[in-house]
Structure formats: structure tokens, C-alpha cells
């Protein structure tokens, strides 16, 4: 709200003072972010927190509701209840950003395009910073994919298992690229696309797949591991961009391509 002087000149903006519950939530959120309150830890009893902050029970519970909405705590009622600290959930950010993107008229195709900008860059960084541990983690995912394909008489894997394992492969690239901002941004976009993929599975995903498509994907994963092992950053980036472009032809080939992202969360 703007404040205007008697002469009509705008002199400033009046900001709403934060409510007491918001201040308490901010204080507790800061402790969680800093690691002073770790996931799994139970907050002190309500009566103790009420005395600490000098507030009533309704005010404290309003602060709890703010943190619950952010999935930073889980409040259990009853004699053995209490507020337990939780690790932040990326799906909450994905859902919220999905709503904002919908206001802008954004489609799942638009989100995937953003992924194709950021994730190949993460692949390049991973090749530059890779460790033996991440190479082993990626290799285990590919081995699990191969085992799933080989276990099927038709060589077409269970779509839920396949999508879960490929999600993990992408996740490892983001988590280990060495840039936390890109990793978080990519994780949010990946979660939105994964929600789209679950919609595809529910609508008959995989019914007309051929064994060659899955074998081709496995070969791509194997080649990617070889490139990052050799620290070929340029090659890893180019391969991963090509891999994602090919995946887009499959994942976004139907009417879900233009689906508003917020519809995915309904």
C-alpha cells in the first residue's frame, strides 16, 4: 500500500508487519535450514515453546501450520504426539512452481524444454567433477535396468520399475554435478516431468513399446558412463542432450504434450 502526502506526492510504501506466528515460523525455519534442528528430531512440548516465545497456544499452532504447509514439520496429535522435523520435500516446490507456471499458461512441453537446457549442462559438470562413487552408483542403476529387461519374456520391462530406475539415473546426474543451484532447479523440473510420466503410465504407457527402444536407452546410459569416466565433458553434454531429445519424442508425443502443468497435480 502506497502512502501519499497532502500534495499528492507518493512518499513511500507501508509494509505489513509480520504476524507473531510468522515470526515464530521464521525462527524455527532458520534453525531447520541451519541444521540446528535435524530431520527426525521432535520439537519441545507446546507448553515449553509457548513459554519460550511468550505466546498463546493458538498462535504457536498457527506457526506450526505454516511449517507443516512447507513440509518442514509433521505435527502428531495425542499423548505421544508432537512436532517432528522433516527433510524438505522437492515435490512441494514442484507443486507450488507448477501452479505459478500454470498462471503463465505453461505446458509440460515448455517445462521439458527448460530441462533440456539445464540438465545437459549438469552432465558436463558431472564429467568434470565425477568420482568413482557416482560412477559406481550410475553403473548399478544400469545393471538394474538390464536385469529388469532380461527378466521379461518379451524384453519389455515393467513401466513403473523402468521409470523409477531412469528417474534415479537423472537424479544422480543432478545431485552430483557440483552446482547446488542447478541441481535443485533441475530436480524441481524433473519432478514435474516425472508426474507427467506417471500420467502416461496410467493411460497405457508401454503397451506398444519394442525391445529395441529399451536396449537403445541402456546403450545410451552405458556410453554416458564411459564419457564421464573419461572426463569427456563436451561429449557427455552432447550425448545427454541427444538422449533427452530422443526421450522427448516418446514422452511428449501425444495430447499430454500441451497439458497445463498444474493439471498434473490434480
Determine the pLDDT at residue 159: 80
Determine the pLDDT at residue 193: 80
254 Cβ contact partners less than 8 Å away, ≥ 6 residues apart:
200
CA gap 96, 187 in Å, rounded: 14
Domains in the chain with CATH codes? 18-85 (1.10.10.10), 91-252 (1.20.120.530)
* CA distances to 29, 63, 71, 73, 241 from 87, in Å: 11, 18, 8, 8, 31
Determine the pLDDT at residue 35: 87
- All three cell numbers of 243, joined, read 538422449
Query: How far apart are the two ends of the chain, measured CA to CA in Å?
Result: 34
Determine the pLDDT at residue 130: 94
Determine the pLDDT at residue 2: 44
Burial code of 234-255, b = ≥16 C-beta within 10 A, e = fewer? Answer: ebbbebbbebbeebbeebbeee
Question: Average pLDDT for consecutive 10-residue bins of the chain (266 residues)?
Answer: 50 66 93 89 93 95 92 82 84 76 82 92 96 97 91 70 91 95 88 73 57 88 98 97 88 62 55
Determine the pLDDT at residue 182: 92
Amino acid at each position: 500500500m502506497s502512502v501519499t502526502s497532502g500534495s499528492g506526492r507518493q512518499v513511500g510504501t507501508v509494509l505489513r508487519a509480520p504476524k507473531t506466528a510468522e515470526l515464530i515460523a521464521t525462527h524455527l525455519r532458520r534453525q531447520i535450514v541451519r541444521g540446528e534442528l535435524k530431520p527426525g528430531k521432535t520439537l519441545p512440548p507446546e507448553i515449553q515453546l509457548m513459554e519460550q516465545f511468550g505466546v498463546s497456544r493458538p498462535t504457536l499452532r498457527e506457526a506450526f501450520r505454516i511449517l507443516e504447509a512447507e513440509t518442514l514439520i509433521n505435527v502428531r496429535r495425542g499423548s505421544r504426539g508432537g512436532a517432528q522435523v522433516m527433510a524438505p520435500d522437492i515435490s512441494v516446490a514442484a507443486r507450488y512452481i507448477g501452479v505459478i507456471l500454470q498462471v503463465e499458461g505453461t505446458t509440460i512441453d515448455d517445462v521439458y524444454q527448460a530441462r533440456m537446457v539445464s540438465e545437459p549442462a549438469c552432465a558436463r559438470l558431472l564429467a568434470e567433477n565425477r568420482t568413482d562413487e557416482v560412477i559406481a552408483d550410475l553403473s548399478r542403476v544400469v545393471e538394474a535396468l538390464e536385469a529388469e529387461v532380461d527378466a521379461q519374456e518379451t524384453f519389455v520391462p515393467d513401466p513403473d520399475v523402468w521409470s523409477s530406475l531412469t528417474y534415479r539415473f537423472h537424479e544422480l546426474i543432478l545431485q552430483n554435478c557440483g552446482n547446488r543451484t542447478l541441481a535443485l532447479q533441475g530436480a524441481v523440473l524433473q519432478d514435474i516431468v516425472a508426474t507427467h510420466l506417471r500420467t502416461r503410465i496410467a493411460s497405457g504407457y508401454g503397451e506398444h513399446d519394442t525391445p529395441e527402444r529399451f536396449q537403445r536407452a541402456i546403450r545410451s546410459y552405458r556410453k554416458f558412463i564411459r564419457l564421464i569416466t573419461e572426463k569427456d565433458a563436451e561429449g557427455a553434454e552432447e550425448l545427454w542432450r541427444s538422449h533427452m531429445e530422443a526421450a522427448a519424442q516418446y514422452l511428449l508425443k501425444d495430447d499430454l504434450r500441451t497439458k497445463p502443468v498444474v493439471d498434473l497435480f490434480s
